[in-house]
């Protein structure tokens, strides 16, 4: 048997994930079909003699009206394992208006709750007292861990007034971002902690936006600008604001 054929055969036989998994339990709640699936995982050990350690893990598969759905982020499970929650995103993504639906399925009581998610729409002329606040002086640099990103003119916990041009740019970029996931605080722990905070009032109502790289954390949800950036976008907002305010 040629060598490359043997390699392909080994990969097919000893793939870490075997089969499609076994459905352990199913629930039918409203238009949703929820399956708890047990999947086999094979961990190879190439010692003097070949050993394969089999382990198993479980996960939820969710379908709506017998069709797969797009889930933003991960499926959250309550401590008692009774309730699962997930964010359904539209198949045709939209940037504004109704951008998703957050579902809460109680598997024990067979009940369903849902909440429609509307992206905030802020009018520039209706915004008052916009401020930007750096939450730390240094931020983790995944491209060079020994050279963290430094925040210029950091003075904890002092906020800076946002220059109108910077505020306008912030609104422009936020309006162009997509909803991607619910905000889970544990996802933003050090070294991936939130980097900046923006506060303002809109038509008299207090607003608060947390910034992490190119993501906006608003009202319990995460919006992403998409694309790849080599340094935090929010750091650019801060530096541009300092420049326009004449602060070095």
Task: For residue range 179-196, list pLDDT tens digits in order.
Answer: 999 999 999 998 889 999
The rounded distance, in Å, linking the Cα atoms of 160 and 195 is 14
Mean pLDDT confidence for 170-175: 96
Closest to 204 (Cα-Cα) out of 127, 137, 143: 127
The pLDDT, as a whole number, for residue 39 is 84
- Of 73, 223, 238, nearest in space to 158 by CA: 238
Task: Strand 196-202: give its sheet, edge to edge.
Answer: 160-161, 127-134, 196-202, 205-212, 215-218, 221-224, 178-182
SS (H, E, C) 55-68: EEEEEEEEEECCEE
Q: What is residue 5's predicted lDDT score, i.e. its pLDDT?
A: 33
Write the pLDDT tens digit of every residue in 146-155.
899 999 888 7
What b/e sequence results for 123-146 when a residue is b if at least 16 CB atoms lie within 10 Å of its CB, and e otherwise? Answer: eeeebeebebbbbbeebebeeeee
pTM: 0.84
The residue that leads in pLDDT, 131 or 228, is 131
pLDDT at 240 over 70: yes
* CA torsion through residues 155, 216, 220, 61, sign: negative
- Distance CA(199)–CA(207), nearest Å, equals 6
Q: Which spans in the chain are helix H?
A: 3-13, 164-175, 233-245
Confidence of residue 217 (pLDDT cuts 50, 70, 90): very high
pLDDT tens-digit map of 153-167: 887 668 899 999 999
Q: How many CB atoms lie within 10 A of CB 52?
A: 12
What helix, strand, coil percent values describe the chain, rounded to 5? 15, 50, 35
Which pairs from 23-26 meet CB under 8 Å and 24+ separation?
A: 24/58
Q: Tell me the backbone φ, ψ of residue 156, rounded to 5 degrees.
A: -65, 140
Neighbours of 167 (CB within 10 A): 20
């Amino acid at each position: 048997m040629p060598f490359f054929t043997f390699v392909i055969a080994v990969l097919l036989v000893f793939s870490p994930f075997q089969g499609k998994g076994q459905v352990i339990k199913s629930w039918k709640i409203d238009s949703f079909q929820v399956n708890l699936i047990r999947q086999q995982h094979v961990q190879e050990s190439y010692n003097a003699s070949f050993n394969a350690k089999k382990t198993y893990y479980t996960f939820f598969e969710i379908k709506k009206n017998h069709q797969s759905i797009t889930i933003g982020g991960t499926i959250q499970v309550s401590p008692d394992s009774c309730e699962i929650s997930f964010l359904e995103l539209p198949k045709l993504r939209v940037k504004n208006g109704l951008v998703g639906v957050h579902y809460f399925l109680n598997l024990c009581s067979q009940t369903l709750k849902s909440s429609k998610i509307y992206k905030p729409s802020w009018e520039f002329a209706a915004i008052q007292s916009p401020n930007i606040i750096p939450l730390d002086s240094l931020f983790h640099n995944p491209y060079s861990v020994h050279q963290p990103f430094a925040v210029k003119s950091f003075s904890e916990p002092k906020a800076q007034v946002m220059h109108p041009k910077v505020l306008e740019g912030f609104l422009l970029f936020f309006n162009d971002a997509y909803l991607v996931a619910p905000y889970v605080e544990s996802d933003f722990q050090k070294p991936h902690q939130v980097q900046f905070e923006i506060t303002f009032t809109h038509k008299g109502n207090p607003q608060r936006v947390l910034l992490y790289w190119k993501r906006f954390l608003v009202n319990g949800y995460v919006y992403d600008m998409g694309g790849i950036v080599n340094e935090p976008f929010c750091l650019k907002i801060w530096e541009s604001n300092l420049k326009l305010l004449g602060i070095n």
